[in-house]
Amino acid sequence: DLIVVDKPAGMVVHPAPGSPSGTLVNALLHHFGGNLSGVGGEKRPGIVHRIDKDTSGLLVVAKSDAAHHGLAEQFAAHTARRSYRAVCFGAPDKGDPRLAGIRGVSFEPGGTIKITTQLDRHKTDRQRQAVTFNAGRHAVTRLQVLRSFAGRAAEVACRLETGRTHQIRVHMSHIGHALIGDPVYGGRRKLALGSPGAEMANGFARQALHAETLGFVHPITREDMDFTSPLPKDLEDLIKALGETHI
């Protein structure tokens, strides 16, 4: 009924202008032939949701139309469970008055920072998304700091309530903590040369974002399912380098 895929960074999910081949959909069609849901049409068979080309980690693909509709309903109702691991510039801190003053930011028990905005296409760059408060689509991200690297950077867990295009990347940039390696929303921010992990972080080849967990109710058997993907080596190495201390 369905397939859960651990997608490597660098792979596009479905064919699009500039990426006609080498996509996840091409691989699925090769592996499963016509045994994929047709709901998404010829270009997106089986694709219920997407993750960005340079984001690694988990996504679920439907093999039957019934599974596709059942999964799509869960994503639309925000009952599918998705969490991501990321590494950002600086360390979000609920005690930071700057953070508390940003529109859309609120705080929940357990050290959770909640970001609630609208997201819409950027007015001048159609490839980007932008935070708005009077148009676009409702977007909610919750984040927790797992580890701070002396305030220079942080390892964070992000939980999606909604799943909009580039949502985590835009929200982290909105609160002043863009993801390391993000070529679109990270600006030209760099870590101070000579600090632990700076060389690796400043040259990181993709946004430091990994779709770590995925949970849903199986649309046919109704079984509760949870999947976890371990951190890929490039992110493990980045975190390790940032955590090193100079003697």
Q: Could you give the residue numbers annotated as active site?
A: 52
Q: Report how far apart, in Å, the C-alpha atoms of 202 and of each of 89, 94, 179 are.
A: 10, 26, 11
In degrees rounded to 5, what are phi and psi of residue 88?
-125, 165
What SS3 class is residue 206?
Answer: coil
- In whole angstroms, give the CA distance from residue 70 to residue 172: 31
Helices marked H in the chain: 24-32, 65-76, 97-100, 167-174, 198-202, 233-243
Q: What length does the chain have?
A: 247
88 burial level (CB within 10 Å; 0-12, 13-18, 19+): buried
76 is written with which tokens? 């639309």
